[in-house]
Amino acid sequence: MASISESYELIKSQIECAAEKSGRNPEEIELVAVSKTWPIETVSELVECGHKIFGENKVQELEVKSPSLSSSIRWHFIGHLQKNKVRKVLPLAETIHSVDSFDIAERINTIAHKLGLFPKIYIQVNHSNESTKFGFSPEELSQSFDSLIQLDRIEIEGLMIIPPFDPDPEKVRPEFSALRELRDKLEQRNGIKLPSLSMGMSNDFHVAIEEGSTSVRIGSSIFGKRKVIKPIRME
């Protein structure tokens, strides 16, 4: 079984190869190491390798890990965010990948005003309209986008997608290309830049990079298969 440092170096090499295959600069692609469910000791191993960008999907875990690890870490929140958790997340996470409704974007904007922050966000798109996933449909996003770009305390980096899982990553390539095309249409229609696409995980990041991803969210290929753990207690 490979060590975390070995797996990390392998993933970086694979990202570089996928970028070069599509004629892109590997430095354009951000690796978000998904540390959800992993204990602080395990995350620390990757920090010692020099990695700085980590993703969490639970507010409770982020609250525990953020003050316990290096202040140089850039935390990204990648899970479904409830309105009543926004105030807790904003001081800890520099980027939120999962803004899945106008209501949550508006709430983030309001709290950011109060806290004096300018969080970066991705708009989550549910391109296949899966009932088990959150996110704007392409039609909803087109209708809401004018209002979204009027929110003055959020920086919209781009779009994010979680495609249906398929063991064959080529089967989800159309999801990635459709997100890129939607981004391009929004840019052209609104005369703005959305420079980033958050798409691609352990199983399919190679294809996502070929389709224009600038941020890949990778956990199990670095840390290994997740184990079921008891919830972190706050007291």
Indicate the domain borders of the chain.
Answer: 4-222
Angle between helices 138-148 and 102-115 (to 10 degrees): 30
Question: Whats the size of the chain, residue-wise?
Answer: 235
| 174 vs 211: CA distance, rounded Å | 9
Closest by CA to 48, choosing from 11, 73, 14, 76, is: 73
| 134 vs 104: CA distance, rounded Å | 12
* Contact between 91 and 65 (Cβ < 8 Å): no
pTM here?
0.93
The burial class, CB within 10 Å (0-12 / 13-18 / 19+), for 133 is middle
Angle between helices 40-48 and 4-21 (to 10 degrees): 60
**Domain 4-222: CATH superfamily, name plus number:** Alanine racemase (3.20.20.10)
Instruction: Give the max Cα distance, the chain.
Output: 50
Task: Give the pLDDT band of residue 227 (cuts 50, 70, 90).
Answer: low
* Contact between 34 and 216 (Cβ < 8 Å): no
pLDDT at 129: 75
pLDDT at 82: 97
Task: Give the phi and the psi of residue 114 in degrees, each rounded to 5.
Answer: -65, -30
Question: What is the tens place of the pLDDT at every residue in 131-186?
Answer: 778 999 999 999 999 999 999 999 999 999 999 989 999 999 999 999 999 999 99
| 37 vs 172: CA distance, rounded Å | 26
Question: What is the tens place of the pLDDT at every residue in 109-132?
Answer: 999 999 999 999 999 999 877 777
Average pLDDT over residues 27-53: 97
pLDDT at 233: 42
The percent of residues in the chain predicted with pLDDT above 70, rounded, is: 96
Question: What is the tens place of the pLDDT at every residue in 88-102?
Answer: 999 999 999 999 999
